[in-house]
Copies of this chain bind each other. A is one copy, B any other.
Amino acid sequence: MDIGFIGLGEMGAAMVANLLKAGHTVRVWNRTPEKAEALAAAGARAVAAPAEAFTGDAVISMLADDAALREVVDATLLEHAPRGLVHVNMATISVALAETLAREHAELGLHYVAAPVLGRPDAAAAAKLTIIAGGAAEAIDRVQPLFDAIGQKTWRIGALPQQANVMKLAANFMLAAAVEALGEAAALLGGHGVAMRDFLDVVTAGPFPGPVYAGYGGMIAEDRYEPALFKARLGLKDVRLALAAADAVATPLPVASVLRDSLLEAVAHGDGERDFAVLGKVAARRAGRA
């Protein structure tokens, strides 16, 4: 396929590399052009303006947040996009903005697919992302080959794009809740002289298998939060989005409120760029042991 790709951060760059490997033609654009040039060496075509990426068979966007997306994907860009273009937004954005974008695209005869992903940069590099796709089935059908190139599994969750965003936010909320629980458990254990490492051995062999408990728990056990696979600052961003999505439907999320406070505390102590397993450090600090 002939596609555009906007936003070449760590995740985006890895996705483009896999799209190229799968034989797709990719026009890439990034605010800072160096990143586009680096991918040019791998076969991508760097373009000078977002509008040049916003054409062809489809365009994927993977920008940092609502503000970054809205600055690029504005009314002018959409009005000049070719009718029938499928825009796949794979970034984690607010549910409110997803709703707005879906409406704006529809009014202009464009297709909007929300396809946030589960998986960190290492999964992106290995083409092992989990893709949660929301939008019209025929639009998703058209971009399925792209999903196949970058992910291991696509979940189609319905016709309303924003529902994919809700699902992604709910998943990241659960992730953050698990990490906070690990951090609090570690603080409790530490207070009684029990090694977090031993505890992890027990629970990961039992009720909590899988990489989340072993991985984040391991960082907490070692009190080592770098390199950051998922930065505390970005975890906070997602928790804020989950709270906002819940607020919009008058739904209290008390654990998410705790997560927000704990992550703010991490940021306040200079740990925003560390892995969000620093929630373990926050819990230890509260107990006077960090």
Contact = CB atoms under 8 A, between A and B. Distances in A.
A251 B191 contact: yes
A246 interface: yes
Given A177-B177, A245-B192, A251 B182 contact: no
Contacts of A68: none
Contacts of A208: 174, 178, 210, 212
A182, A188, A209 pick with most chain B CB within 10 angstroms: A188
Contacts of A240: 247
A167 B198 contact: yes
Interface stretch (A20-28, A54-62, A153-161): A153-161
A250 B191 contact: yes
A21 to B, nearest CB: 23
A221 to B, nearest CB: 13
A162 B189 CA distance: 11
A132 to B, nearest CB: 6
Nearest to A181: B177
B210 A250 contact: no
Q: Is the interface of A mostly helix, strand, loop or mixed?
A: helix
Interface in A265-279: 265, 267-270
A16 B44 CA distance: 63
B170 A174 contact: no
Contact of A166 (B178, B181, B192, B252): B192
12 contacts: A130-B202, A132-B202, A160-B193, A167-B199, A170-B188, A171-B206, A175-B207, A209-B210, A251-B287, A252-B268, A253-B261, A270-B288
Interface of A: 95, 118, 130, 132, 153, 155, 157-158, 160, 162-163, 166-167, 169-171, 173-175, 177-178, 180-182, 184-185, 187-189, 191-194, 198-199, 201-203, 205-212, 240, 242, 245-258, 260-262, 264-265, 267-270, 283, 286-289
